[in-house]
């Protein structure tokens, strides 16, 4: 190793002597390295010979030797000491402050006294320069704060503190904002509540947000005469500094882009006008005056970071000194690193050295805090300080000093990190010597590959050197650097981060700005690098902002060809990586990329209209909704083209596809303005011109017009923009009939065609990408592609064999495979067969396959020559998708197809409405949605069948809306639709749910009399359940069990569960019959012993007979019972039954062990288990635990039903999440009322109302409060 390095050794000082900087007057006068200075500066001297001798991996090892200090003293003659006084100022000021008492309020006593102890930020803004002098500390400040905190806090305030803390812990900024808004409603708030809210805003807020909300919140605190605490000031200062940091970083990027886009100047000025740093310092000075210093080191670190951004050394010295005087705060490594960086930013190496020496002393005295720093601050490691010292030497035109610091680290026990190597490599490049930086990059990389303890350079260093070489037009060296990077990545894990990729692209942009004549060559190289880095090497995939920067650069320089090339290339790569793989999040990222880049590309200077449409095509073909700005730019270009052609639109020569894109853009723009109720670029005048363009090109040929625009959408837009007469004239001018604004839902029908069937859409619809479902809309609208398929009757027969009525035992999935095989050979089936297959696939949950059949069917529709055939085929296909997706539970997808039929002038079939009604779920008010669908079907005159009637009656009965269910039964009878056993079962269920015993009996008897041979289990179970739970009567329950057997209806598992309840839950308990029924369940091959059967036994023993030990014995026997061969039990329901036993018998002492068992068994704790815990703790008088259980639960999304509380949906949720059910609120409110906490109960009701629970639910629970 020594031999390897010896060839690079040289005398550093002789090189410095040859450097122009040696006599240039030092830093600040410009650094221009001469040829001789670096001609031999590619060696490492003695530095690397120490690398393999250092075996200590301890990052925080002993401090470096005196070597660096000695070397520094030898170089001081070369340094500029123009700021020598600052060195003394640093020491004098810090010495003065640290020798005072621990009360920093005594630092400055000047300024007139004030009666108030605080001031709002508005006042701070008005007097930034003298805010600190304008406020004097109040008397007995601490006493007043302690008294405030000691007051009894309102229960609402405590609840808000708990909710805010929970939202903060989940890092949900928007949840924090929603809850914090409730703080304003508290009439008697506490400082603790305000501090909790402010801290949550500090921790969760995105830095890109302005500080207005936090400042307003603070000002409101002052207006309420609440005394801020040290935490108040610390949080507000941190928020301001975080925002200042964001502004600083963003300005760097904007200033670079301003050279290409002068319009960014306004944005830059807006950011520069923010006074975050000044306000933060004024608040800090106020805190010093009031002796309320922040007690967390990261607050001081952020203030110092802000000082660095603003190059304010004097303020930094003051903050640094005050921090050191705080008795409970120790400086961190990153604290010194920030200070050193600050001196480096003003080229003051001597001041940086003072800080560095103090750091070394502190390190030796163990006075440095090693705890992790704030997430976005520099890493809190010793190497961070040395990295800063290296960078500062380079920024002060002392490359030799930077290398010497590096050598000092090698001689110490510090563990070198890649970012230390980066500091040296990038340091050379920053002073304009990319050749030396490249040589250091090569040597450190090779040394690392040979096993040295010197780490390999990070990815960022390779990127930085490559772009530095590009700026000097050294393409061969840049290519070689890339090859070296690939070699390193084959040996080490070196995935680039998004920040590193973005920095690379921005540096490439600067390289192009430096040498615009090299644009094509630079872009080609950068694109190759990014493809290799993001597709071949990175496990994280494509990072689009980096690509967008390259495209932005090309477009800004007028290189549409390069911008479009990159756009298409990376769009295709992303489609393969994200969209084709079915990644929902990736798809959203990809769509955003398309929308953003379309906007960038169409801004290319001197772009033509055809080029604009070429750029927009990617969005159009993939149903990506572009920004309003994009749409406006395209319409402006069209307007200019119309002017250039002197109003003759045909001369523009748009292709059919360009026409479709033009109409799509216009309709989207119009809808945006209608939705926003604004009058902008698209207005009544432009609407008339738009229609005139269509007529000018296509005349009044409705069929041709229908190929380029959805006339239904156009009619809707015109009806919103113009009066009836004007709208009618324009629509009729296109060959269509206008029926008024309400026709948006009934359709716009060609004037020469009349609607013949209620359920068939007569106008063949085009699609607007803003209205269509991304997952279901075919990639092209009908008519845009000429498919080549041959109808095959045999294939139609084969793909229809899934029909259950044929009883052929062939699944829809098998038929799908058959279809795809035929399609691959150019064959296809009839529309009827395809629609039937899509329906069947949707029913079994194969929605992706259903959508693929649907997409293929759209291509087949184009083969139909007759408009009537296409129209009826289109309806059949859409209706099949409604039914299939509805049965499959994809109600949102079914809704998209339902609305298409309605908007085209038709209505879905009765079966489709029934499928949607039957499967509306996972909302807090299923019945209301079902009723809306039912009423819609009646509105459009759909002839209801038995399936539709049964679906709506069942949904209403489950919601206890027996009266409405009976009204619909009357309609069913009036329309001579015969009720089935399912109908009667639903009606009987509705009657029993509201306790109407006699009506239930009457309907049951009618059912048995009229539904001979068609009886099913549910109605019998309903009657048995009524007499076991609602109106306990064992004899009546057994009567209906006897009726079941007499009608030859086989009992179900639920029937046996009800019989167990009849014998075990209705006193006196009949244990003999109880276990005889259980034995029957075990021996019946048609049913399976389930959790509910065991729960019934446990309930009988523990809750009815009060035999806790017996219940536990039954529970313990489950695991080894012969019926439990699969080991699926006990599950949550069984655990819930045993927990109920403990609660009912006041055995709370057994609950902890049971909860441990639940956790150990990986059983999801359902809401019903939580309900029992709430009740159990409350009954023992421990309301705090009840509230803790309740608040630990989570509300489902607004309007959605709770998930994860039933066996069929446990797999779809996070095991740690327990969603509240309405019964949970009931249980908690009951507990509060029993604890005489009526106020808390009312607050819970208010929270339910805020979450938009149905009135029927909240009113019932509210009735508990007398």
pLDDT digits (tens, 9 = 90+) for 1184-1234: 999 999 999 988 876 566 666 765 555 545 556 888 988 999 999 999 999
Q: Do the beta carbons of residue 236 and residue 218 sit within 8 Å?
A: yes
DSSP, res 381: S
Whole-number average pLDDT of the chain = 79
Pairing of strands 827-828, 790-791: parallel
Burial class from Cβ neighbours inside 10 Å (0-12, 13-18, 19+) for residue 762 reads buried
Which 3 state secondary structure label does DSSP give 314?
helix
Please, which residues have CB within 8 angstroms of residue 330's CB and are 6 or more apart in sequence?
297, 367, 368, 369
Q: Which tokens is 1172 given?
A: 């029992």
DSSP-assigned beta bridge partners for residue 828: 791
Q: What kind and span of H or E run contains 827?
A: strand 827-828
Peptide bond into 678 cis (omega under 30): no
pLDDT at 29 over 90: no
| Residue 342 contacts residue 372 (beta carbons within 8 Å) | no
- Range of lowest pLDDT (3-12, 352-361, 690-699, 973-982): 3-12
In a 13 Å sphere around the CA of 83, the CA atoms on its Cβ side amount to 20
Mean pLDDT to the nearest integer, 422-440: 92
Given a cut of 50, is residue 133 above it in pLDDT?
no
Do residues 239 and 283 make contact, with C-beta atoms less than 8 angstroms apart? no
Q: Domain for residue 386, yes or no?
A: no
pLDDT value for 45? 36
Question: Average pLDDT, stretch 852-857?
Answer: 90
pLDDT in tens, 1043-1070: 888 888 999 999 999 999 999 999 999 9
What percent of the chain is modeled with pLDDT above 70? Answer: 79
- Model confidence pTM above 0.85: no
pLDDT, average across residues 566-588: 74
Mean pLDDT check: name the lowest of 102-106, 133-137, 223-227, 684-688: 133-137
Q: What's the mean pLDDT in 129-150?
A: 35
* Alpha-carbon span 846 to 814, nearest angstrom: 12
Contact 1199, 1222 (CB under 8 A): no
What distances in angstroms separate CA 287 from CA 140, 283, 304, 322, one per listed residue?
15, 6, 16, 11
Would you give the end-to-end CA distance of the chain in angstroms?
A: 88
Ranges of beta strands (E only) in 985-1137 are none
Peptide bond into 1130 cis (omega under 30): yes
Locate tokens 């000194």: which residue?
Answer: 321
Segment holding 791, helix H or strand E = strand 790-791
112 falls within a domain: yes
Query: How far is it, in rounded angstroms, from Cα 74 to Cα 12?
Result: 12
The pLDDT of residue 84 is 43
For residue 1126, being part of any structural domain is answered with: no
Phi/psi for 827 (5° steps) reads: -105, 155
What pLDDT does 101 receive? 37
179 lies in some domain = yes
**CB neighbourhood size of 1126 (10 A):** 7
Better pLDDT: 868 or 110: 868
CB atoms within 10 A of CB 472: 15
> What is the spatial distance between Cα 1014 and Cα 57, in angstroms, rounded to a whole number?
81
Give the count of beta carbons closer than 10 Å to the beta carbon of residue 1123: 16
Per-residue pLDDT, averaged over 304-317, amounts to: 95
Contacts of 925 (CB under 8 A, 6+ apart): 1199, 1254
Q: What percentage of the chain carries pLDDT values higher than 90?
A: 34
List pLDDT tens digits, range 822-840.
888 888 899 999 999 999 9
State the Cα–Cα distance between residues 1180 and 1146, nearest whole angstrom: 7
User: What confidence tens digit (pLDDT) does each residue in 935-945 have?
Assistant: 988 888 788 88
Q: What's residue 71's pLDDT?
A: 47
Distances 512 to 477, 530, 598 between C-alpha atoms, Å: 17, 16, 22
* pLDDT at residue 1167 is higher than 70: yes
Query: Residue 1266's pLDDT is what?
Result: 61
Place of tokens 């059912």: 1007
Query: Is residue 774 in some structural domain?
Result: yes
Q: Residue 1259's pLDDT is what?
A: 78
Task: Decide: residue 167, CB within 10 A, 0-12 exposed, 13-18 middle, 19+ buried.
Answer: buried
Neighbours of 621 (CB within 10 A): 15
Whole-number Å distance between alpha carbons of 635 and 656: 17
Banded pLDDT at 35 (limits 50, 70, 90): very low
> What is the rounded distance in angstroms from the CA atom of residue 120 to the CA atom of residue 216?
9
Question: Which of 234, 257, 290 marks a domain boundary?
Answer: 290
Q: Tell me whether residue 512 is in a domain.
A: no
Phi-psi region of 1048 (alpha: psi -120 to 50; beta: other; left: phi over 0): left
Position with higher pLDDT, 548 vs 583: 548
Choosing from 884, 908, 932, the residue where a domain stops is 908
pLDDT band at 733 (very low <50, low <70, confident <90, very high): confident
Sign for the CA dihedral angle at 827, 830, 834, 837 comes to negative
Q: What is the pLDDT of residue 411?
A: 83
Query: How many structural domains are present in the chain?
Result: 2
Cβ 53 vs Cβ 410: under 8 Å: no
pLDDT given for residue 636 in this prediction: 93
* pLDDT at res. 1209: 57
Phi, psi of 792 (to 5 degrees): -130, 115
Q: Which two tokens stand for residue 1266?
A: 């007398």
Q: CA 897 → CA 475, 884, 1061, distances in Å?
A: 55, 11, 46
| Mean pLDDT value across residues 1012-1019 | 82
Residue 308 zone, left/alpha/beta (φ > 0; ψ -120 to 50; rest) = alpha
Instruction: Calculate mean pLDDT across residues 901-914.
Output: 86
Mean pLDDT of 523-529: 90
| Residue 276 token pair | 């975050």
Tokens 């708990």 correspond to: 162
Question: How far is the C-alpha of 777 from the C-alpha of 664, rounded, in Å?
Answer: 15
Residue showing tokens 């301003």: 258
- pLDDT recorded at residue 703: 81
Contacts of 809 (CB under 8 A, 6+ apart): none
Cα 142 to Cα 147, 237, 895: the distances in Å are 9, 20, 62
Within-domain flag for 173: yes
Residue 197 predicted with pLDDT over 70: yes
Which residue has tokens 């007043």?
Answer: 144
The confidence band for 1033, taking pLDDT boundaries of 50, 70 and 90, is very high
Residue ending a domain, choose from 908, 925, 955: 908
- Nearest to 1148, CA basis, from 1187, 1174, 1119, 1115: 1174
Q: Residue 1207: which residues within 8 A CB-CB, separation 6 or more?
A: 1091, 1131, 1132, 1133
Residue 81 has pLDDT above 80, yes or no: no
Measured CA to CA, the distance from residue 811 to residue 801 in angstroms comes to: 8
Of 967, 962, 965, give the one whose Cα is nearest residue 951.
965
Q: Output 859 or 172, whichever has higher pLDDT.
A: 859
> Does residue 347 or residue 6 have the better pLDDT?
347
Asked whether residue 1084 carries a pLDDT value surpassing 50, the answer given is yes
Q: For residue 200, what are the domain limits? A: 104-290
Q: Please indicate, yes or no, if residue 286 is contained in any of the structural domains.
A: yes
Residues 445-454 pLDDT 10s: 998 888 888 8
Contact criterion met (CB below 8 Å) for 906 and 873: no
Please report which confidence band the pLDDT of residue 188 belongs to, taking 50, 70 and 90 as the band edges.
Answer: confident
d(CA 501, CA 496): 7
Residues 572-600, mean pLDDT to the nearest whole number: 77
Which pLDDT value is given to residue 308?
95
């Amino acid at each position: 190793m020594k031999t390897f390095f010896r060839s690079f050794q040289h005398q550093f000082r002789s090189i410095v002597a040859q450097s122009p900087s040696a006599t240039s007057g030092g830093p600040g006068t410009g650094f221009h390295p001469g040829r001789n200075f670096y001609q031999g500066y590619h060696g490492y001297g003695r530095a690397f010979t120490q690398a393999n001798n250092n075996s200590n991996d301890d990052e925080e090892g002993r401090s470096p030797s005196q070597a660096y200090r000695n070397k520094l003293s030898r170089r001081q003659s070369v340094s500029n000491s123009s700021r020598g006084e600052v060195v003394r100022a640093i020491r004098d000021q810090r010495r003065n402050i640290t020798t005072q008492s621990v009360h920093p309020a005594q630092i400055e006593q000047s300024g007139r006294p004030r009666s108030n102890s605080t001031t709002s930020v508005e006042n701070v803004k008005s007097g930034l320069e003298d805010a600190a002098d304008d406020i004097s500390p109040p008397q007995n400040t601490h006493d007043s704060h302690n008294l405030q905190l000691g007051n009894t806090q309102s229960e609402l305030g405590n609840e808000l503190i708990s909710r805010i803390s929970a939202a903060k812990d989940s890092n949900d900024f928007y949840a924090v904002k929603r809850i914090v808004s409730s703080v304003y409603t508290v009439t008697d708030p506490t400082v603790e509540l305000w501090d909790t809210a402010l801290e949550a805003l500090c921790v969760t807020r995105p830095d890109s947000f302005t500080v207005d909300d936090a400042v307003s919140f603070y000002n409101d605190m002052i207006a309420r005469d609440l005394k801020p605490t040290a935490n108040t000031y610390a949080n507000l200062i941190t928020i301001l500094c975080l925002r200042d940091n964001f502004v600083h970083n963003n300005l760097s990027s904007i200033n670079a882009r301003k050279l290409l886009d002068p319009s960014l100047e306004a944005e830059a000025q807006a950011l520069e006008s923010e006074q975050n740093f000044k306000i933060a310092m004024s608040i800090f000075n106020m805190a010093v005056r009031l002796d309320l210093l922040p007690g967390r080191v990261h607050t001081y670190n952020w203030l110092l970071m802000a000082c660095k951004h603003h190059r304010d050394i004097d303020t930094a010295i003051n903050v640094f000194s005050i921090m050191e005087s705080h008795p409970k705060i120790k400086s961190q490594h990153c604290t010194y690193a920030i200070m050193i960086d600050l001196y480096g930013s003003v080229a003051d190496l001597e001041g940086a050295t003072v800080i560095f020496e103090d750091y070394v002393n502190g390190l030796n005295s163990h006075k440095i805090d090693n705890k992790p720093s704030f997430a976005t601050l520099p890493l809190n490691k010793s190497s961070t300080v040395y990295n800063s010292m290296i960078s500062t030497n380079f920024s002060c035109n002392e490359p030799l000093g930077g290398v010497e610091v590096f050598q000092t680290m090698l001689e110490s026990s510090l563990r070198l990190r890649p970012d230390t190597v980066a500091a040296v490599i990038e340091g050379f490049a920053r002073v304009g010597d990319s050749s030396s930086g490249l040589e250091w990059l090569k040597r450190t990389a090779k040394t690392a590959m040979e096993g040295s303890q010197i780490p390999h350079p990070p990815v960022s260093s390779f990127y930085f050197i490559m772009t530095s070489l590009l700026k000097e037009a050294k393409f061969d060296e840049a290519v070689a650097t890339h090859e070296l990077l690939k070699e390193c990545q084959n040996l080490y894990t070196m995935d680039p981060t998004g920040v590193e990729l973005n920095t690379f692209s921005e540096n490439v942009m600067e390289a192009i700005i430096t040498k615009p004549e090299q644009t094509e060559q630079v872009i080609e190289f950068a694109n190759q690098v990014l493809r290799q880095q993001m597709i071949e090497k990175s496990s994280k995939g494509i990072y689009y902002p980096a690509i967008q920067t390259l495209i932005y650069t090309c477009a800004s320089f007028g290189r549409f060809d390069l911008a479009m090339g990159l756009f298409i290339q990376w769009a295709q790569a992303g489609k393969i990586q994200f969209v084709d793989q079915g990644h929902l999040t990736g798809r959203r990222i990809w769509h955003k990329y398309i929308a953003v880049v379309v906007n960038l590309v169409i801004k290319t200077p001197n772009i033509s209209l055809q080029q604009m449409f070429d750029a927009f095509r990617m969005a159009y073909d993939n149903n990506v909704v572009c920004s309003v700005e994009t749409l406006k730019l395209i319409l402006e270009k069209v307007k200019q083209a119309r002017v250039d052609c002197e109003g003759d639109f045909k001369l523009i020569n748009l292709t059919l596809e360009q026409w479709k894109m033009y109409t799509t853009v216009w309709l989207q723009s119009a809808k945006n303005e209608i939705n926003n109720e604004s009058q902008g670029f698209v207005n009544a005048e432009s609407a008339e011109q738009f229609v005139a363009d269509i007529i000018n090109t296509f005349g009044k040929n409705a069929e041709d017009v229908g190929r380029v625009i959805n006339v239904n959408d156009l009619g809707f837009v015109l009806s919103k923009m113009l009066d009836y007469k004007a709208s009618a004239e324009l629509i009729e001018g296109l060959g269509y009939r206008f029926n008024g604004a309400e026709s948006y839902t009934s359709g716009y029908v060609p004037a020469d065609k009349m609607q013949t069937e209620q359920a068939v859409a007569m106008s063949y619809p085009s699609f607007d990408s803003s209205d269509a479902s991304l997952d279901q809309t075919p990639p092209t609208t009908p008519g845009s592609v000429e498919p080549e398929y041959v109808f095959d009757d045999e294939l139609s027969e084969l793909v229809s064999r899934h029909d259950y009525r044929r009883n052929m035992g062939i699944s829809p999935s098998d038929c799908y495979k058959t279809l795809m095989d035929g399609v691959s050979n150019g064959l296809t089936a009839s529309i009827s067969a395809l629609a039937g297959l899509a329906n069947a696939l949707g029913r079994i949950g194969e929605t992706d396959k259903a959508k693929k059949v649907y997409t293929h069917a759209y291509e087949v529709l184009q083969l139909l020559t007759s408009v009537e055939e296409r129209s009826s085929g289109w309806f059949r296909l859409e209706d099949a998708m409604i039914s299939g997706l509805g049965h499959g539970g994809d109600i949102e997808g079914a809704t998209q197809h339902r609305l298409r039929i309605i908007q085209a002038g038709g209505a879905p079939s009765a079966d489709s409405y029934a499928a949607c009604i039957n499967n509306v779920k996972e909302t807090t008010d299923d019945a209301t949605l079902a009723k809306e669908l039912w009423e819609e079907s009646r509105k459009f005159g759909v002839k209801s069948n038995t399936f539709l009637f049964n679906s709506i009656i069942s949904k209403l009965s489950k919601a206890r809306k027996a009266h409405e269910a009976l009204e619909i039964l009357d309609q069913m009878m009036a329309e001579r639709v015969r009720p089935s056993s399912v109908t009667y079962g639903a009606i009987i269920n509705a009657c029993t749910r509201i306790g109407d015993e006699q009506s239930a009996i009457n309907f049951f008897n009618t059912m048995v009399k009229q539904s001979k041979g068609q009886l099913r289990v549910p109605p019998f179970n309903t009657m048995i359940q009524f007499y076991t739970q609602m109106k306990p009567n064992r004899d009546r329950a057994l009567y209906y069990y006897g009726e079941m057997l007499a009608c030859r209806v086989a009992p179900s598992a639920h029937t046996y569960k009800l019989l167990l309840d009849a014998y075990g839950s209705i006193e006196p308990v009949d244990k003999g019959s109880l276990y005889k029924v259980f034995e029957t369940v075990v021996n019946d091959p048609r049913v399976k012993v389930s959790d509910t059967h065991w729960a019934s036994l446990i309930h009988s023993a523990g809750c009815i007979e009060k035999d806790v030990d017996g219940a536990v014995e039954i529970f313990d026997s489950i695991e080894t019972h012969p019926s439990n061969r699969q080991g699926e039990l006990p599950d949550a329901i069984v655990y819930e039954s045993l927990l109920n036993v403990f609660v009912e018998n006041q055995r709370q002492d057994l609950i902890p062990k049971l909860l441990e068992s639940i956790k150990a068994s990986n059983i999801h704790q359902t809401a019903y288990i939580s309900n029992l815990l709430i009740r159990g703790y409350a009954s023992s008088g421990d309301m705090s635990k009840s509230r803790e259980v309740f608040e630990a639960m989570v509300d489902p999304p607004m309007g959605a039903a709770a998930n994860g509380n039933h066996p069929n949906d446990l797999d779809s949720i996070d095991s740690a999440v327990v969603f509240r059910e309405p019964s949970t609120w009931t249980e908690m409110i009951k507990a509060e009322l029993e604890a005489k906490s009526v106020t808390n109960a009312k607050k819970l009701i208010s929270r339910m109302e805020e979450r938009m629970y149905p009135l029927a639910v909240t009113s019932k629970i509210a009735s508990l409060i007398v």
